[in-house]
Amino acid sequence: MTYPLPHVAVLTGDLVNSTGAGTDLVNQAIGRVDIMAAAIGTWPGNGRAHFTRFRGDGWQFLIPRAHYALRALVCVHAVLKTVDAFPLSRISAGLGSVDQLPGGDLSDASGNALVASGQ
């Protein structure tokens, strides 16, 4: 991919009541979100989702084709609902540009899609 990307989506989420769920369930739930992000990257015309975990129960991923944002959000909720004990996730979506993505990790990325998803 060449940067800047003019119109992408960034989903930002954190697990609800992760302390009560415990480390094992949190790790499994985040793992499911990571797998879902990879699957979303295979949707037609999309591209790699660039999943990043942060702050223990937080996560983000970039969706190169912004029109997939709502579908991706629903899929993340659905994958977490497959196991009753998994914590659910709050999710926000930011639409806009990504100016750079050094090394593929969103923790070093910049752009208004990332800012919007964090608000």
Contacts of 78 (CB under 8 A, 6+ apart): none
With a cut of 80, say whether residue 73 has pLDDT above it.
Answer: yes
Q: What is the pLDDT of residue 72?
A: 96
Q: 50 or 3: whose pLDDT is higher?
A: 50
Report pTM: 0.87
Q: What is the pLDDT of residue 112?
A: 74
Cα separation, 70 vs 94, whole angstroms: 11
pLDDT digits (tens, 9 = 90+) for 30-63: 999 999 999 999 999 888 888 999 888 999 999 9
Q: What is the pLDDT of residue 5?
A: 67
Tell me what the pLDDT averaged over the chain comes to. Answer: 87
Residue with tokens 């959000």: 73
Phi, psi of 53 (to 5 degrees): -95, 140
Residue with tokens 């100016």: 99
Q: 107 or 13: whose pLDDT is higher?
A: 13
